[in-house]
Amino acid sequence: MNDSLPLVFEFTTNRLQDWENTTGKDQFITDTTLQGFGCKVTPKQTKSFFVRGRISKASTPRKVFGRFPKMAIIDARREAKILLEFSLDLQGQILQLDHEISDDIYNYFKTLINKRLEFQPISQIIGERYFWKNKFIVSPNVLDPRPDTETLIEHTLSQGKFCKILDLGTGSGCIILSLLDEYKDAIGVGIDKSEDALNVAKQNANLLSLSQRVSFNLGNWCEGIKEKFDLIISNPPYISENDMKILSKSVLNWEPRMALTPEGDGLGAYRHILDGAKNLLIPNGKLILEIGYDQGKQVTHLLKNHGYKDIELVKDINNKDRVLSASWIE
The tens digit of pLDDT for each residue in 318-329 reads: 899 999 999 998
Give the tens place of pLDDT for each residue, 225-250.
999 999 999 999 999 999 998 888 88
State in words which class domain 7-117 has.
alpha beta
Q: How far is the CA of 272 from the CAs of 156, 224, 238, in angstroms? A: 21, 13, 12
Residues of the chain scoring pLDDT < 70: 1-6, 11-14, 33-36, 50-77, 90-101
Neighbours of 31 (CB within 10 A): 22
Q: How far apart are CA 171 and CA 191, in angstroms?
A: 8
Nearest 5°: the CA angle 141, 265, 176 is: 40
Cα distance between residue 262 and residue 268, in whole Å: 6
| Residue-wise pLDDT tens digits, 44-100 | 887 777 665 544 444 444 444 444 444 455 566 677 778 878 887 766 665 555 555
pTM, two decimals, is: 0.79
The rounded percent of the chain whose pLDDT value lies above 70 is: 83
Of the chain, the end-to-end C-alpha distance in Å amounts to 73
Identify the CATH assignment for 132-328 out of 3.20.20.105, 3.20.20.80, 3.40.50.150, 2.30.110.10: 3.40.50.150
C-alpha–C-alpha distance, residues 274 and 285, integer Å: 13
Give 259: exposed, middle or buried? Use CB within 10 Å, 0-12, 13-18, 19+: buried
Delimit the domains of the chain by residue range: 7-117, 132-328
- Residue 52's pLDDT is 58
Residue 248's pLDDT is 84
